[in-house]
Amino acid sequence: MGVNVASISVPGVQQDSRSWSVGGLLKLGTVAIQFALVALVFTAVRLESEAFRQVLYISVAAFPINHLLPMRFRLPFFVLLSVGIIIKILGVESAAWVLGIGLVFIGLCHVPAPAKVRIGLVAAAALALAAFRAGWADAPWPGGVWPILGAMFMFRMIVYLYDLVHKSAPAGPWRAFAYFFMIPNVCFPLFPVVDYQAFCRTYYNEDAYKIYQTGIKWMLRGALHFILYRFIYTFLLVGPEEVKGAGDFFQHMVTTYLLYLQVSAMFHTIIGFLHLFGFNLPETNHHYVLASSFTDFWRRINIYWKDFMMKVFFYPLFFRLRKRGTTQAMILATLIAFFATWFLHAYQWYWLRGAFLFTTPDVVFWLILGVLVTLSVWAEARSKKKVVPTSGPESAKLAIILALKTVATFLTITFLWSLWTSDSLMQWQAMLLQLRHWDAESVLKIGLACVTLGVAAIAVGRDQWMIGAAARQRTTKAKPFDFWRSAAANGAAGMFIVSLALAEVQSHLSPTMTAVLESIEAPSLNARDEAALQGGYYEDLIQVDRFNPELQAKYSRQPLNYFDEWREAMNTKRGDYLGVELTPSTTITYAGITYTTNEWGMRDKPYTREKQAGVCRAGIIGSSHVMGWGVNDSEVCDAVAETRLNAEGLPCELLNFSVNGYDPIQKTITLRDKMLDFDLDVAILFCHRIEKQWIVSHLVQRVKSGLEIDEPRIQKALAASGVTQDMGEPEIKVRLSGSGSELLQWAFTSFADTCRENGIRSVWIFMPEKGRVSFIDRDIKELFACAEAAKFDLILDYSDAFKGYPEKELAISDYDDHPNALAHTLLAGRLFETIKTNEAVFAGGSRPQGQTSAATLAQREP
């Protein structure tokens, strides 16, 4: 007969640490300042969404009020604050739906009926919601409600019901509202599965200042994880299509695994935040890179998930099965728990994104991981702990074994992770085939990484629970809490991060360091990065813009369907490879910006086909950045440069043929079909970092749409890759990725050759964006190599055009990093200098058709 032990225990010995003494108020003020510093860190480095940063500032103001309230008022205050924030972020209508539906679910849990009836009622309500989510019936609430509703209730409702039915935690309206509507859930659709029992038990269960200091520390740790994530994403990540050998594959699998830093960053931030309101919850992740076995990995990577699975699946299953014997019960319970884990990940995907996740890589990943963890459980269940020596040869041997086990676990997990994050099994197999190619660099890269990891495992493991009981003993003797030392450490860390984001500090750093910092400060992926987006389960759930534009609009204050209205007015669809072009003779004002096109469909003033004598005429072709998205007609770089050139007595016409979204193939077609008609002396091709990925991405769209492509070189690439219209997009992308480099080279060469054949000088310019650093970016290196191979007359790097200006001063807005008027002025300055200092290239005058520019230049040079 089981006894409800918890029902008579005191969950959460609430300590009322209010103090109006000078010392108490001083501590409170110190915590408040640190909290404000955390908010500054998130603002300075533009971490997380604009919505969350707003929540931070509101919470900084609310924090001292909460602390000074009598204990009985704090939870109601937290609830009211949470509700207020939900309304602020989602708006009244969406917030009303979230709160209303939530209250219905909470109410169903408390219907005065037997547990089975209540569970049945909640399940029936959830099924009704699921039907709406599937689109079987039109939901009356806005689409942005779904991810938030899902995030609040999909798992926590299970935990809440479990604890309610077993009476293993106290119940009450304020606790329930606080648990489901807790800040900052409204800003994070992917949210840790907070345990209800722990939520109640840990509420102000020890010294409040200690709890707050832990919260500040974890939020700063979260910020650091976010920054590391961005560094890895920007500088180290190797996409599947970039894997050309064993070293690349190793870097791919390690970096895609390390992208999980974004999840640990979020979880540290969220749980740290809750500490500031008294919830002394346990840590969410623990050095998961240093896991030394599969069970160890399972215990460290997402501790809240593991606890949830143990509570709701593993222990109940084990107790049902243990008549079969402890070991057998453990193995069966583990296997079933892993099946449930797979299912619940798909279930989470369903509530957040609206479709059930069922892909081969996902199924295979969970199957293999489940088997590995089960084998690990079996081995651990049979093993007996041995005395662990703390010194001597035996200890050294154990340390080496620990290092080897850590490296082996890491390699296995990252290998599986690369499978999980692949678009398809075929994409993963294609990468595996590259393992045939080994070179010294690969061996060095892999060897160095493994040795570093092994050393870290020994160094950290000695002070953690890994190496053995002797080390564990040390951790149980925790150091006494020192408030002022903790505040000093947090303050120093926060100020260090904020200072690095200051332009004044960056101006004293090396250009390399400044460029790296600017890249890390970039808030989100821009439109071009989207083409080369690294996928993955968590990436696809965290980046709200990938699945719920309505919610994204609320998070970023970006207008819903941003760009669409503009496209509607300014883009005319074409049935050929170009896809779209600018609508001729159109003027619109969108978001306060005037866009005008001339009769030829250029974002420019009117020009005749024939140029005037003595004038140098250059045709410019780029994409949205050069077309001038987000700036007025007169502010576009070519217009500014042209005005300045003419004012200084350099007769010049700069015709802007740029169209939003054009890749190098489209730009080359534009040169051939349009630009040649305008009596050009020079053709300038502007390029960005990931032109190659755009070529592949656009080609995938064209194959899927069944477009007849008459360009022989593209036909050849399509034939070689064996793609067909009925294939899935991921498969087409994988097959075409191998042709990306060749098509990029072909497009550049065609551009330069076309210019040569028509007596036009060719100029290639690398357009900077988001502080990309060319010296370590292989995409940029490839661009320059292709431009050189194409033999452009002039190859220029505008990477430093924005030097000295912080990224945020150059972008249109927080949610759109296209260059603003200032950035266009800076680009115009570079263009002006280019034309002025390269007179031979930009000299006006006509040449006979077919004469090469090199020959022309030779003729003109004295």
Residues of this chain that interact with another protein (CB under 8 A) are 1-6, 8-9, 11, 162-163, 166, 168, 197-198, 201, 282, 295, 299, 310-311, 314-316, 318-319, 322, 326, 330, 377, 380-381, 384-389, 464-465, 469-470, 472-473, 475-477
- Tell me which residue has tokens 């072909």: 746
Pick the closer one to another protein by CB: 85 or 467: 467
In the complex, the smallest distance separating the C-beta of residue 397 from another protein, rounded to whole angstroms, is 16
CB-wise, 404 or 470, nearer to another protein? Answer: 470
At its nearest, how many Å lie between another protein and the CB of residue 302?
A: 14
- Find the shortest distance in angstroms from Cβ 246 to another protein: 35
| Residue pair 312/331 in contact by the 8 Å Cβ criterion | no
Exposed/middle/buried for residue 785 (C-beta within 10 Å: 0-12, 13-18, 19+): middle
Q: How far is the CB of 12 from another protein (least distance, A)?
A: 10
Q: Closest separation between CB of residue 399 and another protein, Å?
A: 16
* 651: exposed, middle or buried (Cβ count in 10 Å: 0-12, 13-18, 19+): middle
Quote the least distance from Cβ 6 to another protein, whole Å: 4
CB 216 within 8 A of CB 327: no
Long-range contact set of residues 37-41: C-beta below 8 Å, sequence gap at least 24: 37/490, 37/491, 37/494, 37/495, 37/498, 38/216, 38/219, 38/220, 38/223, 38/494, 40/494, 40/498, 41/220, 41/223, 41/494, 41/497, 41/498
Please write down the long-range contacts of 231-235, taking CB distance under 8 Å and 24 or more positions apart.
Answer: 231/516, 231/519, 231/520, 232/258, 232/259, 232/261, 233/259, 233/534, 234/519, 234/520, 234/522, 234/772, 235/516, 235/519, 235/773, 235/776, 235/777
If the CB atoms of residues 232 and 274 are measured against another protein, the closer one turns out to be: 274
Shortest Å, Cβ 299 to another protein: 6
Closer by beta carbon to another protein, 195 or else 521: 195
Nearer to another protein, 285 or 543 (CB): 285
Least separation in angstroms between residue 270's CB and another protein is: 19
In the complex, what is the shortest distance from the CB of residue 310 to another protein, in angstroms, rounded to a whole number?
5
User: Which DSSP helix (H) or strand (E) runs through 590?
Assistant: strand 587-590
Report the helix count and the strand count for the chain, using DSSP H and E.
39, 11
Nearer to another protein, 29 or 114 (CB): 114
Closest separation between CB of residue 213 and another protein, Å? 18
Tell me how far, at minimum, the Cβ of 237 lies from another protein, in Å: 32
Question: Which CB sits closer to another protein, 294 or 428?
Answer: 294
Distances (CA, A) of 166 to 119, 160, 193, 653: 12, 10, 19, 79
Query: What is the distance, to the nearest Å, from the Cα of residue 498 to the centroid of all Cα atoms in its chain?
Result: 21
**C-beta closer to another protein: residue 299 or 692:** 299
Q: Which is nearer to another protein, 213 or 852 (CB)?
A: 213
Which DSSP helix (H) or strand (E) runs through 128? helix 115-134
* Half-sphere exposure (Cβ direction) of 737: Cα atoms closer than 13 Å: 21
Closest CA to 83 of 190, 181, 226, 205: 181
Report d(CA 525, CA 767) in Å as an integer: 17
Measured CA to CA, the distance from residue 416 to residue 812 in angstroms comes to: 40
Residues paired with 683 in a beta bridge? 619, 762
Between 170 and 829, name the residue whose CB sits nearer to another protein. Answer: 170
Which C-beta is closer to another protein: that of 282 or that of 559? 282
